[in-house]
């Protein structure tokens, strides 16, 4: 008859179970201890936060400036208004009705009907007082000035195809070159903001990576002892990842504080400057979504820098 194995041997041969409480407790301890370690060296930590904040602040300022330009683009792009010259046999009532029908279209923001008499009066105002033209009849046609909603060249060309089919329209005038130049300038600004964001994100990644590397070197003996006791790589990496998370989060908050200080000092000046041109100054603030995106980006980039530093330097702490 086969002998029964002792209960202690059966327990020893069981597969290890996952300790969820222990895992969560270690996460909390790593999060708390990494924050306390930053507070123990406030000067070096504050310098790192400041460098991260400046690296995040520059592309954020360019982004806000670009948003301000986009908010004023509709006003500037009115140089791309479309002038529809009507045929001479179009009655004034028909012209005004056409202007109302065009205003009702989704592609057009607003319209203005200019009668033949209004066009002639405006033309006379541009002449010198000494020049008196005496004509048998008014040679200027009635017209409709339309401001389109979409100002891109492709949208304007599609709108022009529709307007040319109107029987009351004799000719159309529009300055597409100005619209094209403005849109190209905005596209260039967006590309510059994206490029600057990528470059400075790499800078943040290198800053955090170098800081984590120094932290690994300062705790090399401690890490070696923990590994000798059987700690897994994930267990060893966890405190350093939380350190990178705190660097990213607090660096993002510092960038937001600096940006708020700049906005407070420049908002009144911007209001006064744009007010001289009849423009409303946009609010140079980050809304809740943009602030969340800034903090999330800072944390992700910092965690990536910490992870790369761990991948490159943690293997050097393996006990020989």
Q: How many CB atoms lie within 10 A of CB 276?
A: 7
Range of the domain at 118: 82-173
Residues of the chain with pLDDT > 90, as a percent, come to: 6
For the stretch 132-144, pLDDT in tens is 555 556 778 888 8
Residues 164 and 230 in one domain: no
Domain with residue 146: its CATH number is: 3.30.70.3040
Distance CA 307, CA 197 (A): 20
In a domain, 125, yes or no: yes
Which of the 8 DSSP states describes residue 149?
S
pTM of the model: 0.62
Distance CA 214, CA 310 (A): 11
Q: Indicate if the alpha-carbon torsion angle 132, 135, 137, 138 is positive or negative.
A: negative
pLDDT at res. 295:
92
In a domain, 86, yes or no: yes
In a domain, 290, yes or no: yes
Domain end (from 122, 154, 173):
173
Which of the 8 DSSP states describes residue 9?
H
Which of the 8 DSSP states describes residue 137?
S
Distance CA 308, CA 313 (A): 9
Q: How many domains does the chain have?
A: 2
Q: Are 163 and 169 in contact (CB under 8 A)?
A: yes
In a domain, 282, yes or no: yes
Residues 164 and 188 in one domain: no
pLDDT at res. 300:
92
Q: Which residues pair with 108 in a beta bridge?
A: 148
Residues 159 and 292 in one domain: no
Q: Are 212 and 244 in contact (CB under 8 A)?
A: yes
Residues 169 and 214 in one domain: no
For the stretch 212-222, pLDDT in tens is 888 888 777 87
Q: Are 44 and 215 in contact (CB under 8 A)?
A: no
Domain end (from 117, 150, 173):
173
In a domain, 215, yes or no: yes
Task: List C-alpha distances in Å: 60 to 57, 65, 136, 286.
Answer: 5, 9, 63, 9
Chain position carrying tokens 């090399």: 220
The contacts of residue 227 (CB under 8 Å, 6+ apart) are 236, 317, 318, 319
Residues 295 and 197 in one domain: yes
Q: Which residues pair with 110 in a beta bridge?
A: 147
Residues 192 and 244 in one domain: yes
Report residue 248: phi and psi, to 5°. Answer: -65, -45
In a domain, 18, yes or no: no
Helices and strands, number each (H, E), in the chain? 10, 4
pLDDT at res. 129:
45
For the stretch 200-253, pLDDT in tens is 888 888 888 888 888 888 777 877 787 787 777 778 888 888 998 999 999 999
Whether residue 48 has pLDDT greater than 60: yes
In a domain, 200, yes or no: yes
Using DSSP bridges, classify how beta strands 82-86 and 108-114 pair: parallel, antiparallel or unpaired.
Answer: unpaired
Mean pLDDT to the nearest integer, 2-15:
51
In a domain, 35, yes or no: yes
Residues 257 and 187 in one domain: yes
Residue-wise DSSP of 280-314:
PPPP----HHHHHHHHHHHHHHHHHHHHHHHHHHG
Residues 197 and 290 in one domain: yes
pLDDT at res. 254:
92
For the stretch 151-200, pLDDT in tens is 666 777 778 888 888 888 888 887 666 667 777 887 888 888 888 888 88
pLDDT at res. 134:
58
pLDDT at res. 82:
83
Residues 70 and 86 in one domain: no
Domain end (from 124, 150, 173):
173
Residues 169 and 229 in one domain: no
Residues 60 and 196 in one domain: yes
Residues 216 and 109 in one domain: no
Q: How many CB atoms lie within 10 A of CB 99?
A: 22
């Amino acid at each position: 008859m086969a002998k029964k194995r002792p209960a202690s041997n059966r327990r020893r041969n069981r597969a290890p179970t996952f300790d969820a409480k222990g895992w969560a407790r270690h996460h909390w301890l790593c999060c708390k201890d990494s924050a306390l370690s930053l507070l123990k060296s406030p000067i070096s930590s504050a310098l790192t936060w400041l460098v991260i904040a400046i690296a995040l602040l520059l592309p954020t300022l360019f982004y806000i400036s670009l948003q301000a330009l986009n908010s004023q683009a509709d006003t500037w792009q009115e140089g791309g208004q479309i002038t529809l010259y009507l045929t001479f046999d179009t009655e004034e009532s028909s012209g005004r009705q056409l202007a109302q029908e065009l205003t009702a279209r989704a592609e057009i923001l607003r319209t203005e009907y200019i009668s033949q008499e209004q066009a002639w009066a405006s033309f006379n105002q541009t002449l010198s007082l000494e020049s008196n033209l005496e004509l048998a009849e008014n040679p200027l046609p009635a017209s409709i000035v339309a401001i389109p909603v979409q100002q891109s060249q492709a949208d304007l060309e599609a709108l022009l195809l529709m307007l040319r089919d109107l029987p009351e329209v004799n000719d159309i005038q529009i300055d597409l070159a100005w619209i094209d130049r403005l849109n190209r300038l905005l596209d260039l600004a967006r590309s510059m903001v994206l490029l600057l964001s990528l470059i400075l994100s790499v800078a943040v990644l290198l800053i955090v990576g170098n800081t984590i590397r120094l932290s690994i070197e300062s705790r090399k003996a401690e890490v070696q002892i923990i590994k000798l006791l059987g700690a897994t790589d994930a267990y060893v990496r966890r405190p350093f990842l939380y350190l990178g998370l705190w660097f990213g989060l607090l660096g993002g908050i510092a960038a937001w504080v600096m940006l708020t200080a700049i906005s407070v000092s420049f908002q009144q000046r911007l209001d006064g400057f744009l007010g001289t041109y009849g423009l409303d100054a946009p609010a140079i603030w980050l809304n809740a979504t943009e602030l969340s995106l800034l903090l999330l980006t800072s944390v992700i980039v910092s965690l990536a820098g910490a992870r790369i530093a761990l991948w490159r330097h943690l293997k050097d702490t393996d006990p020989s």
